[in-house]
Structure 1
Amino acid sequence: MNHNSALPRRRALQLFGVGGLTAVATACAGPGSGGGSDAAEQGSGPATDGPIEGDVSFAHWRAEDQAVFADLIDAFTAEHGEVSIAQEISPSNDYQTTALQRIRGGNIGDLFVAFRGAQFVDMVSAGLYADLTDTDVLDKYTPDLITAGEQDGVQYGLPYQFVFNQPITNQDLLESVGVTEPPTDWDGWLAMCEAVLSAGKVPMAWPGGEIGNAGHLFNAMVMNNAPSDDMCTKIETGEYACTDDWFLTTLRQYEELRPYFQNNPTGTAVEPAEQMFAQGEAALLATGSFHMTAVRELGAEFPIGMMAPITVAADEARYEGVSNATFILGVNTASENQAAAYAFLNFLSDPENAGTYANATAQHVTVSDVEYDDDDLAATSEWLEKNTLLAPRFQFTDLDIRNAAEQACIDVVGGATPEQAAERAQGVIDQRIES
């Protein structure tokens, strides 16, 4: 796989507030703010040779994973009776804005996670991550899948989840219209959409009314059009612009897709789009693998696959699709209980335990030799070997700039000309760059 993990930044992400994180499971002592451990300095490895005992705080944002983590914690503490682990969970938006200060302050997070991109970079810069480069735990991971947890040649964190930010597919519906393989170029993509439309179905259910979910399609639309893999970083620094030819080409392709979305796509939230797909009314749900569980819960019974639009000629395509490595696990340099935190990290990294997590959450993981019992994970695990680009939208560190660029695509689907949408977006971006 060829992942672009470099994330040059124009400025640090501004963090606001220090709102509380909700403690779940048992109460726990904080990791300590005094940096009293042997590995409290940036760049040093975690103290792995201490006793596995005491209270460990595990800070993350995935409330939907609370139950499976609780089971894994029970299994771990059954082996290590002198340790207790509490999950400290907050909503993802709160975690993005408050976790750095809370973890640095020593209130939570002997073991903690970060989102790929700006939050990970900020947490590394703040000295929160102990250096895992020379630890044995790295041997349990597929090297190509954990580059998002590396910076300047140092492995600070271990991305645990590996998701695909690209459309998921109703394989039965596509086969019924003669589509058995993903299209290899833009003409083929439009031909596929036309075949589905001619059969009386919606080619692509797209939640254009929610910019956060609408933006997943943006990843795939720019992955082969852009002149470099760090296209979003360069939009943010001003080196690239939404009025550049490659971005206008992308907007014109969104314009070509107008007939192939559902009615009122720019007013559609993610739940109705999921429902449309689950009921067999749409061939594709243009979000990502992370919505497979949701559509199963809505009653989808057909085989699910994945594909990404190839917006260029087949021989010009650099990437087959889009992936994202996130939920970057790390040991807190300020923790006074690093040995136990590292031991639990090592436990989560065992293939059997990582498989328990993956199959319970219907998410691929970066741990090697995991067996996927979940039918959807098994059916799509071939994508772990494909040439995918790490989702470019997470290169943005300024959400206003990201929203402006992605809103241009929504505006075009809503009826604006590509030129109008590009000019409007670039005006916002220019103001942000100059401020």
Structure 2
Amino acid sequence: MTYDLPALSRRRLLALGGLAGAAGLLAACAGPGGEKAAPTASGGFDGPVEGQLSFAHWRAEDKEVFDGIIADFVRKNPKVTVRQDISPSNDYQSTALQKLRGGSVGDAFTAFRGAQFTDIATAGVWSDLTGQDLVSRYEPTLITAGAQNGQQLGLPYQLVFNMPVSNPDLLAKAGYAEAPKDWDGFLALAEALKSKGITPIAWPGGDAANAGQLLNVMVVNNAPSDDALAKIQSGELKVTDDWFLTVLKQYAQLRPYFQAGATGTGNEAAQQLFVQQKAALLATGSFQAAALRKLGATFPLGLLAPITTTADKARYEGVFNATFILGVNAKSAKKGAALAWLRHLSDPAVAGVYANGTAQHVTVKGVEYTNPDLKAFAPWLTRRTALAPRFQFTNLDVRGAVENAAVQVVGGTAPEQAAEAAQRVIDQKR
């Protein structure tokens, strides 16, 4: 089921004029909830704010910013130390739950929206944050991905745009000051870039965590409903249906516009092509802005989502996601300290340090954005965007089969053949 929120309710965030783009927010999936820790009179979980706290996440590029935030937290809570336990995103997706269950890693932790959030809930590892004071510091329409069965188990911290990052200078060089409004226009843009000796799209097709990001924008306007990918998992729809074959055929049309060897390209290699201005688009998302700057990008950054239909049929201009879901481990012996850490992160001033230091918009109310890239991306806060559909999958085997179909097509497989192979896997795994 999907919910389309009224425009005014989506435009309430801070100095940049409001947090919008929450069209198509999905209700949390049904399933078992987490453990509710007993609050103390001061509003925290049982247990003192002391000891060594493990904070588990996958954003290695944010470590330095978190180090500064941790130092501030420790100054205010001198009996606590905080250790960052960081894993690569692929590893975190597959191994975090096993580590969290033991309680020694991830007293406070993060989770991806979708399959990982649901798996952690099923295992009873989330502590229920419902009624805690820090929840009111968040935009309520943007934390639904952390709720289940009426409980607020986690708090999505990041607001990101899962669509290609652009180099506006290279687009202008090809004669495009504005983004095309339809699929034919996007192909014309790609051809214009190619004619200038520029690779139109750098795509990390060999990196599973990032290869599937492009699927978000390829699906949203082609899909028969906002929850179409969830229906593929449930069996109500198939990847052999005409609408998804259209998606795969469009991937085939993009083959000439990806870099050579795209299906084997890793994430950093794709980033380097973009940073070196050999490619005009990087088909990942706004969440990589800080990494691009660290790699040496000095040019302006923008966002450009291909419209895969005619202009009159396009329901959305792009996609967003509310993820990096913060939580307290129900298996931890340090819940009081873990909740204090989350409360610190939820302070608007601290959230602003995180946002501006990492080039990531956040879901906390009252944050002032000063980062130039966040300002450049700000127009997308009020455009009509859909909640990234890729994360509707709660079964990673099914998601992998669907995403791999696109990779196979880019590699030269016929769309119909790739779809049939993927559907066989889906039928076995769902």
5 Å-filtered alignment, 1:122-161, equals 122-161=119-158
User: Displacement, 1:146?
Assistant: 1.6
| TM-score, normalising length: structure 1 | 0.85
User: Displacement, 1:267?
Assistant: 3.4
5 Å-filtered alignment, 1:255-270, equals 255-270=252-267
- Spell out, residue by residue over 1:71-123, the C-alpha distance to the aligned partner (whole angstroms, 9 max, x if none): 21221221223333333334434433443344343323332222211221122
The equivalent of 2:361 in structure 1 is 364
Q: Check conservation: 1:53, 1:84, Cα contact below 8 A.
A: no
Q: Distance in 2 between matches of 1:174 and 1:72?
A: 37
The equivalent of 1:179 in structure 2 is 176
The equivalent of 2:25 in structure 1 is 4
For 1:289, the aligned partner's letter is S
User: Displacement, 1:46?
Assistant: 4.4
Q: Does 1:42 align with 2:53?
A: no
Q: Check conservation: 1:132, 1:138, Cα contact below 8 A.
A: yes
Q: Does 1:62 align with 2:83?
A: no
User: Displacement, 1:217?
Assistant: 0.8
| Worse overlay, 246-255 or 193-202 | 193-202
Q: Distance in 2 between matches of 1:258 and 1:348?
A: 43
Matched-pair identity in %: 57
User: Displacement, 1:353?
Assistant: 0.8
Counterpart secondary structure, 1:272: helix
For 1:427, the aligned partner's letter is R
- Spell out, residue by residue over 1:108-150, the C-alpha distance to the aligned partner (whole angstroms, 9 max, x if none): 3332222211221122233332332322212322222222111
For 2:168, the aligned partner's letter is Q
For structure 2, the 5+ residue unaligned runs are 1-21
The equivalent of 1:167 in structure 2 is 164
For 1:5, the aligned partner's letter is L
The one of 82, 85, 108 aligned to 1:85 = 82
Q: Does 1:392 align with 2:392?
A: no
Counterpart secondary structure, 2:281: strand
- Spell out, residue by residue over 1:389-419, the C-alpha distance to the aligned partner (whole angstroms, 9 max, x if none): 2222222233332222122222222222221
- RMSD between aligned residues: 2.5
Q: Distance in 1 between matches of 2:86 and 2:412?
A: 41
Q: Distance in 1 between matches of 2:360 and 2:328?
A: 23
| Worse overlay, 263-272 or 413-422 | 263-272
Q: Does 1:302 align with 2:302?
A: no
The equivalent of 1:223 in structure 2 is 220
User: Displacement, 1:41?
Assistant: 7.7
Q: Check conservation: 1:351, 1:370, Cα contact below 8 A.
A: yes
Q: Does 1:112 align with 2:109?
A: yes
Q: Check conservation: 2:34, 2:121, Cα contact below 8 A.
A: no
| TM-score, normalising length: structure 2 | 0.86
Q: Check conservation: 2:142, 2:363, Cα contact below 8 A.
A: yes
Counterpart secondary structure, 1:160: strand
Q: Check conservation: 1:159, 1:366, Cα contact below 8 A.
A: yes
Q: Distance in 2 between matches of 1:57 and 1:105?
A: 12
- Spell out, residue by residue over 1:234-279, the C-alpha distance to the aligned partner (whole angstroms, 9 max, x if none): 2222221111010011111112222222233233333332222112
Q: Distance in 1 between matches of 2:305 and 2:123?
A: 36
